[in-house]
């Protein structure tokens, strides 16, 4: 039978997490092992926004850090669609992780990594210019974001080291949102913001979904979560005996918190 009704193409998976295990060994505390993620699976397609849910300590930030390639899991796969191909971040060469971050993964952490003496507007332009954008066009885009996020123009040429927590968070958001990253990882992006700026960030996230970004985030604010998310994913800390058993010298050997990016 021939169907006349065109069928919408299913959105492409952008993130596929399979059977992820992550534990930490506390070497300074008698080698105690903390099993945090056990058999975590997650798929996020273009245009979706998934909220990581779970009580404090469940492992939500750990999932985001694994997705950014900061934490190396003991087992499992993290496939990210990068330039049309699903690439496994687990075990990828550091230079490939950096390339994936540069072009594909936008990460809004809770705190701005302040670079001394660099003006706020330059900090925001930098990821776009690194990707080859015209510096003037990048500056215009950065200025538009700064305006939307209500950073007074007199602050644009100042280094954000002395900015308030909420101002720094908005600079952090602008520095990520200035690039149309295909994948966004958002760690409490509105935690320090007032109502007006929270709504602006909701709009920015919805615009990113609209252009097809796949988003994973931690949103403790229920209003923000309800406004931006298409699904929720429960992160549950495994019972002490459930986790994979690893020798102390096998774990954490490859965490990459030191990778710039």
Is 51 one of the binding residues for ligand ATP (CB under 6 A)? no
Is 54 one of the binding residues for ligand ATP (CB under 6 A)? yes
Size of the site for ligand ATP (CB under 6 A): 11
HEC string of 77-129 equals: EEEEEECCEEEECCCCCHHHHHHHHHHCEEEECCCCCCCCCCCHHHHHHHHHH
Among 11, 27, 41, 57, binds ligand ATP (CB under 6 A): 57
Part in contact with ligand ATP (CB under 6 A); list of ranges 49-57, 134-142, 191-199, 204-212: 49-57
Part in contact with ligand ATP (CB under 6 A); list of ranges 50-58, 83-91, 162-170, 195-203: 50-58
Long-range contacts, stretch 97-101, CB < 8 angstroms, 24+ apart = 97/69, 97/256, 97/259, 97/261, 98/259, 98/260, 98/261, 100/69, 101/68, 101/69, 101/261
Among 45, 62, 70, 176, binds ligand ATP (CB under 6 A): 62
Residues 6+ apart with CB under 8 A from 161: 114, 116
Query: Under a CB-based contact definition with an 8 Å cutoff, are residues 177 and 145 in contact?
Result: yes
Cα separation, 173 vs 146, in Å, equals 10
Part in contact with ligand ATP (CB under 6 A); list of ranges 57-65, 80-88, 168-176, 196-204: 57-65
Is 72 one of the binding residues for ligand ATP (CB under 6 A)? no
Interactions with ligand ATP, residue window 15-34 (CB under 6 A): 24, 34
Is 254 one of the binding residues for ligand ATP (CB under 6 A)? no
Which residues of this chain interact with ligand ATP, rule CB under 6 A?
Answer: 24, 34, 36, 54, 56-62
């Amino acid at each position: 039978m021939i169907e006349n009704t065109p069928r919408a193409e299913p959105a492409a998976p952008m993130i596929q997490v399979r059977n992820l295990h992550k534990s930490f060994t506390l070497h300074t505390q008698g080698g105690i092992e903390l099993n945090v993620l056990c058999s975590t699976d997650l798929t996020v397609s273009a245009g979706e926004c998934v909220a990581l849910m779970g009580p404090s300590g469940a492992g939500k930030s750990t999932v985001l850090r694994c997705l950014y390639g900061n934490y190396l899991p003991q087992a499992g796969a993290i496939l990210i669609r990068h330039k049309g191909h699903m690439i496994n971040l687990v075990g990828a060469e550091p230079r490939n992780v950096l390339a994936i971050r540069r072009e594909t993964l936008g990460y809004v952490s809770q705190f701005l990594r302040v670079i001394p003496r660099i003006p706020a507007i330059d900090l925001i332009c930098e990821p776009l210019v690194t990707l080859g954008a015209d510096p003037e066009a990048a500056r215009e885009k950065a200025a538009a974001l700064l305006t939307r996020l209500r950073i007074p123009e007199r602050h644009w040429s100042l280094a954000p080291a002395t900015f308030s927590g909420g101002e720094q968070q908005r600079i952090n958001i602008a520095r990520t949102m200035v690039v149309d990253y295909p994948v966004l990882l958002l760690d409490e992006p509105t935690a320090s913001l007032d109502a007006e700026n929270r709504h602006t960030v909701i709009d920015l996230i919805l615009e990113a979904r609209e252009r097809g970004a796949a988003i994973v985030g931690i949103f403790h604010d229920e209003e923000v979560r309800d406004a931006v998310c298409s699904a929720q994913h429960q992160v549950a800390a495994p019972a002490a005996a459930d986790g994979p058993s690893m020798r102390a010298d096998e774990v954490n050997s490859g965490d990459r918190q030191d990778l710039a990016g």
